[in-house]
Every structure is written in structure tokens, then in C-alpha cells.
Amino acid sequence: MCLGATLWSGVRGLVCGATKDDATAVGFDEGPVFAESWAYLERRGVRTARGVLRDEAVAVLELYRATGGAIYNA
């Protein structure tokens, strides 16, 4: 779903901080994330950057959970 939404939105770049494992550690279930998906986005003209400010992104996820943020698929 996120792959399709990224393409449909028309964005030219996607920046991700936290990883699937980081999200899973706080309780989110992100479903499958395939290396092929990243390559597919690149082939379709969407630049990707992963792990950007990862420590800070993880801190946001942890703060969200610690302050009672809803885990949407728990």
C-alpha cells in the first residue's frame, strides 16, 4: 500500500529515518519490506534515502509509544 501511495502521490524523493526493525521494536507491524521495492522506486524515478537521522527517528518512535500514542495495528 505504501509503495503504491508513494508512486501515486507524485513525490520525487522519499527520506526514511527509522527502519522496519525500529518500528517493530515499539510495536508497529509494518508488514513486508522488500529490497526489490526500494529498487523499483528508484527505477520509477523516486530517489530514496534510508537511515537519515536514524537515532533521532527512533527517539521519536519511542517517545510516541511512551506518551501513549496509538499503535494502529496492535
The tens digit of pLDDT for each residue in 43-69 reads 999 999 999 999 999 999 999 999 999
Would you say residue 21 lies in a domain? yes
Would you say residue 49 lies in a domain? yes
- Looking at residue 3, its pLDDT comes to 86
Instruction: At 13, give phi and psi (nearest 5°).
Output: -150, 150
Domain range enclosing 16: 2-66
Would you say residue 74 lies in a domain? no
Number of domains in the chain: 1
Residue 28 to residue 61: CA distance in whole angstroms: 10
Cβ 71 vs Cβ 33: under 8 Å: no
- Looking at residue 31, its pLDDT comes to 83
> Tens of pLDDT along 20-44?
999 999 999 888 888 899 999 999 9
Would you say residue 73 lies in a domain? no
Residue 9 has pLDDT above 90, yes or no: yes
Q: What is the CATH number of the domain that holds 57?
A: 3.40.140.10
> How many CB atoms lie under 10 A from the CB of residue 36?
8
Residue 15 has pLDDT above 80, yes or no: yes
Single out the residue of 64, 9, 14 nearest to residue 22, CA to CA. Answer: 64
- Looking at residue 73, its pLDDT comes to 74
